[in-house]
Amino acid sequence: MAAPAPTSASGPAGPAGTAGSVGTVETQYLDLPEPVRLDCGRELSGVRVAYETYGTLAPRRDNVLLVCHALSGDAHAAGFAKTPPPESTRDGFGATDRDGTAGKGLGWWDGMIGPGKAFDTDRFFVVSTNLLGGCRGTTGPSSADPATGRPYGPDFPVITVADMVRTERIFLRALGIDRLAAVAGGSLGGMQAFEWAIQFPDQVGAVVSIASTPALQPQGVAWNAIARESIMRDPAWQGGRYYGTGRAPEAGMGVARMVGHITYLSAQALGDKFGRRLQFADDIRYTITEPEFQVENYLRHQADSFVRRFDANTYLYMSRALTYFDLARQYGGGSLARALEGVAARTLLIAFSSDWLYPPSSSAEIADALRGLGKPVEFQVIEAPYGHDCFLLEEARQTPIIRQFLSKQFPEEPS
């Protein structure tokens, strides 16, 4: 198959903060030429993948860098969407304050992808896909089942992070890309990076895993369980068959988003931004049903915007995939070191001091296992107050670390 066309930037560079932007981009779609074999034992045919590319593919096709999104992301990682969505995917804490009204059209990792940025499109051909199970163009529960013509709903197979990566591998092969210079991602994206390094060790040059973990901690599993229960206990969920009924589990989905969003933050970040300040009056109003405090109103806003752009069943499937992820169990018979024995990629791990959901100790566990195996690994902890959301907010502090790491294996051309 012919190589994918490089992304062409068009239109103005946009508002302040977009120097080095990849410009305006349009999401593309590819139907996979073969089925995806899943860990659950099923096979999924007719999979469509939504994707975007940034930069120029080298003649030798050796400069491909795959970026992988977190739970609520999509293929639009950088630049301005040709057709801006009704709600932004830039979920980082304080993103509205940072982006202003222009944020809706910006990719979720725009500060990291572009000329001169961490993932430099003057050097790399950056590829971003919407994950298997997604609701932003890639086949998921809301997609039509070829066998029935109706949305899969709860008939969609249960998927794992490994399944997502197998789908990405088939997709890239269909584009004529056999090897990746690097795989990078934060949170769930970092999990995918390690799945790549373990499943396809000879096809990955480097791993950049940010705010991630070898397995979600029990507290994270518990919070995900509460979020799923809130969706499934909403009567409007209708056993997952709510498509076309005029009712969707928006109340349960909103609560799930509130729960999830709190886990991405830190006590310090919430205290600094909101304190105990009231939202609508100078004194309490003695109400049960309406928000009194700014933090309550903020969570309602997060819930309302999220339900307008995300599918509840996709949230269920993505959340379950997160909890199943466990490198030691999957590949090492309980031993993380054994699971990582075949990794050939150089590895960069970045963690954040205030992230209690994916704590620095989780990245340290991976770093120690790789060092014990004599494998090249770098580990950096950034002191920052925003919790797990730091991987979306602390772009400027991550950039020099990532650029230096990548330049050791992929030197910059002399100017």
Q: Which long-range contacts (CB under 8 A, 24 or more apart) does 5-12 make?
A: 5/53, 6/53, 6/55, 6/56, 6/57, 6/125, 7/52, 7/53, 7/54, 7/55, 7/79, 9/79, 11/80
Burial degree of 363 (CB within 10 A; 0-12, 13-18, 19+): buried
Sign for the CA dihedral angle at 194, 131, 26, 30 comes to: positive
Closest to 355 measured CA to CA, from 401, 394, 306: 394
- Can you tell me which residue has the tokens 């298997």? 132
Q: How far is CA 242 from CA 132, 153, 225, 318, 324, in A?
A: 20, 8, 21, 18, 26
Strands 48-54 and 28-31 come out as: antiparallel
Asked if residue 125 lies in contact with residue 6, where contact means CB atoms within 8 angstroms, the answer is yes
CB atoms within 10 A of CB 251: 17
Residues 162 and 237: their CA atoms lie apart, in Å, by 27
| Cα–Cα distance, 111 to 18 (Å, whole number) | 8
* Catalytic residue list: 187, 355, 388
Give the number of other CB atoms < 10 A from CB of residue 366.
26
For residue 316, what are its two tokens? 């269920």
Of 4, 25, 253, 31, the closest CA to residue 139 belongs to 31
CA gap 7, 324 in Å, rounded: 35
